Structure 1
């Protein structure tokens, strides 16, 4: 497989802070929570976050953005060092930053500072655009896209440009390959075209399709993908729209999900794929991004991103737990994966922010089920489980029961099918020892590996003879 293609990101960088602590009492002088033991982290935001996410995919990234001489600009430049190539534009005022305050993982407050705007383009920025094979414009309404509008128009005529718009920014330049507004942004932009608020629609898909169609024509864009949060994205080329649904319903911190979507779409277009493929991959990437804890799971206390998505189960669990998320685990042999298994895993995934499947090794299955099992070897069982969109990681245990593995992962929820009784689970006491909970989920009746194997071994049922009157 060839290496990911380079990407140029143009837009307004921000500096983001998270202050995470505990809130156990109210202030004596006002009915507001007191946040104690706060831990502060800083990370790139806006176009800088989009650039870092694209770089995390393994592609070379150049970021064209405005930075000044203020403290926030210096901090952001340090965070970006060795991650992206930086082309600086002049900034008037202080770099914009935002601080989110969390207690026990729940947001309480957001503070915004800085009103800096891009002053002018530079020759270096023009040259970067002239040589770019693909461009992502992350417009946060602070002037970077405005000062380079002429150059971006020329670039869109010869190379794929993805434009992630902002209500405070201008429209995309003509000829962009893909624009990626959210549903609310698309409605706002469409309302401006009509000289008033866009009409509401009880069917959100119908409204998104109508708005996307209007924006394709007004912006002279090749396509518009309206992002729909947990529903996925609706892609329009100006005709019948194509819905790219989310593979699973991901619950968690959605901050930066739009940047993840746009960065993936732009990168895949840079790789030469079709727009439909790029949008499908972007939906999957954004869903996984939210499911794994969002931006707080990517950035550690010292600044650098964690390891790439899809690493081992322990790494995933650590990231989700650090972000205040809920870890769910489920276990079993999963020999001949069937509809009952899938229903359980999908339900379990919806109960938290990540799902780790603990699967018996071949030797463990033989001890539990007999010499004829497993029917499917471990490597194949792991591969099939990992391919399910509701499964975030798979871990293998060789013992008869998963206590050792559970003790390492320490999930918040241990999911089992409703055909079990809690009293029959030897691992229940262990899970409860660290404050975890065993949760039973409804099980589809009539589905079992043993039953499927028995029916397969008995061969096909003989066809019943036709009875009744003969047609003539």
Structure 2
């Protein structure tokens, strides 16, 4: 199998933060929601997110961007370290960042800070552009593409260049292979001319088609793909456009979906794919990205004193979430299996081995001790939670373990969002309460044959009936040594 081709990303890096919580009341002094139970996460943004996502596809990625000496620039360098090679140009001011406040997955407020701009191009940056085999420009209007515009115009005549434009930036240089504005961005760049004379049917497609055709001509681009959110993308060479629909309707946080689209399309152009193929696969990748949690797969938990600050042995669930996010971002299949796993036996192992063979990682979701007691009775679990985690982690087929306190794992599964939820065949005639949750993001519940005669209860009962071993005197005294 051919390795993915390297990709150079040029553009404005940002640092993004999410503050998530719950809203249960309004403030007494103003009709505004009170957000409590806060969790904080930080992730690359802008061109840095596009570079991160391209690297997650398994390809070598170099990012040319403006960074400074400010704390946010240092934080972003740390997030990209070991994943993306950096070629830095000087930044005037502090790195731009944005903070979203969300409740129930919906944004309530956004705070923008930092107005840093690229000060000037450098020779190392120009050399990186001149030697690139393919380029993605993510122009967020903060000057990086502008100070390197001459080098980008030169390389666009030689190698595939994809350009993701934003209204605060300048139009693409002439000769780009593919430009990827959203419908709103395309309309702004097209001057709004397509807004006149709205047709009775298909007005969005009609407007996007007119805008795309106009931009192909004014930008002198080979193709323009106007992204239409959940509807897919409209690809135009200047005449009759091609509609590339989304394979499914994806519900979720769409933040970063445009970067996922552009990074996928640019990478495939680097691999030598035709534009039509690159756009089709990019639509599928963006749809999958939204369905599987979006930027949640990129973010690093920074909640003070939160789970990420505790050792993994004490809080394994964070490790499980990171494992699932890493595999998902790389395009792999995440498999999860659940249960108490009290007194691990051959039936458990057979199920877990079979589940692991269906995907690229296996996350085992186990009931906490309190959850087991509620389900099984006061005498259970026989093996405490920490020991069950340690035994499961020792299995070669298990990549991570997560713990849930509820009676059923719906909330944990929503965080992990596995492609496959594996259960033993003894559930074949039972409606699993978590099935609808798994199916809501396109996941599949799969049953595996169960080994007959293996169960924790039967093993425990046999153990209780077995006479204790030792000398006859010890056996007669219940196994106690004579004093």
Can you list the C-alpha shifts for 1:353-373, whole angstroms capped at 9, x where unaligned? Answer: xxxxxxxxxxxxxxxxxxxxx
Q: 1:237 to 1:411 in 2, by over 3 A?
A: same
The match for 2:43 is: 43
The match for 1:271 is: 271
Distance 2:431 2:263 in 1: 36
Distance 1:115 1:198 in 2: 32
1:57 aligns with 2:57: yes
| Residue 403 (structure 1) shift | 8.3
1:313 aligns with 2:335: yes
The match for 2:158 is: 158
The match for 1:125 is: 125
- The answer to whether the 8 A contact 1:176-1:221 is kept is yes
Equivalent positions of 1:25-174 (< 5 A) are: 25-174=25-174
| Residue 395 (structure 1) shift | 4.0
The match for 2:231 is: 231
| Residue 413 (structure 1) shift | 7.2
Partner of 2:233, secondary structure, is strand
| Residue 257 (structure 1) shift | 0.3
| Residue 64 (structure 1) shift | 0.4
| Residue 401 (structure 1) shift | 2.4
| Residue 107 (structure 1) shift | 1.6
Distance 1:102 1:72 in 2: 21
Q: Which moved more, 1:23-32 or 1:57-66?
A: 23-32
Distance 1:396 1:62 in 2: 38
Q: 1:403 to 1:62 in 2, by over 3 A?
A: farther
- The answer to whether the 8 A contact 2:327-2:334 is kept is no
Distance 1:398 1:30 in 2: 53
1:401 aligns with 2:427: yes
Distance 1:107 1:101 in 2: 6
- The answer to whether the 8 A contact 2:105-2:253 is kept is no
- The answer to whether the 8 A contact 2:421-2:438 is kept is no
Equivalent positions of 1:245-394 (< 5 A) are: 245-301=245-301, 306-309=325-328, 310-314=332-336, 393-394=419-420
- The answer to whether the 8 A contact 1:188-1:198 is kept is no
Partner of 1:2, secondary structure, is coil
Partner of 1:21, secondary structure, is strand
- The answer to whether the 8 A contact 2:336-2:422 is kept is no
Distance 1:395 1:403 in 2: 16
State the structure with more CA Rg.
2
The match for 1:447 is: none
The match for 1:364 is: none
| Residue 410 (structure 1) shift | 7.3
- The answer to whether the 8 A contact 1:87-1:125 is kept is yes
TM-score normalised by L of structure 2: 0.66
| Residue 278 (structure 1) shift | 0.3
Distance 2:70 2:197 in 1: 43
Partner of 2:221, secondary structure, is coil
- The answer to whether the 8 A contact 2:336-2:418 is kept is no
Distance 1:97 1:405 in 2: 46
Distance 2:175 2:423 in 1: 54
Partner of 2:39, secondary structure, is strand
Runs of 4+ in structure 1 deviating by more than 3 angstroms, as ranges, are 302-305, 394-398, 402-407, 409-415
- The answer to whether the 8 A contact 1:190-1:198 is kept is no
Count of paired positions: 337
| Residue 288 (structure 1) shift | 0.4
The match for 2:379 is: none
Partner of 1:296, secondary structure, is helix
The match for 1:175 is: 175
Can you list the C-alpha shifts for 1:114-148, whole angstroms capped at 9, x where unaligned? Answer: 11100000111001001100000000000001000
| Residue 397 (structure 1) shift | 3.8
Distance 2:257 2:274 in 1: 22
Q: 1:181 to 1:120 in 2, by over 3 A?
A: same
Partner of 2:167, secondary structure, is coil
The match for 1:334 is: none
- The answer to whether the 8 A contact 1:212-1:224 is kept is yes
- The answer to whether the 8 A contact 1:397-1:405 is kept is no
Q: Which moved more, 1:25-34 or 1:171-180?
A: 25-34
| Residue 200 (structure 1) shift | 6.0
Q: Which moved more, 1:151-160 or 1:98-107?
A: 98-107
Can you list the C-alpha shifts for 1:378-424, whole angstroms capped at 9, x where unaligned? Answer: xxxxxxxxxxxxx97234444242589947x6764779xxxxxxxxx
Distance 1:272 1:289 in 2: 23
Q: 1:115 to 1:200 in 2, by over 3 A?
A: farther
| Residue 106 (structure 1) shift | 2.3
Distance 1:226 1:212 in 2: 7
- Provide structure 1 residue ranges, at least 5 long, that are not aligned to the other structure: 316-390, 416-472
- The answer to whether the 8 A contact 1:191-1:198 is kept is no
Q: 1:405 to 1:262 in 2, by over 3 A?
A: farther
Equivalent positions of 1:443-454 (< 5 A) are: none
1:199 aligns with 2:207: no
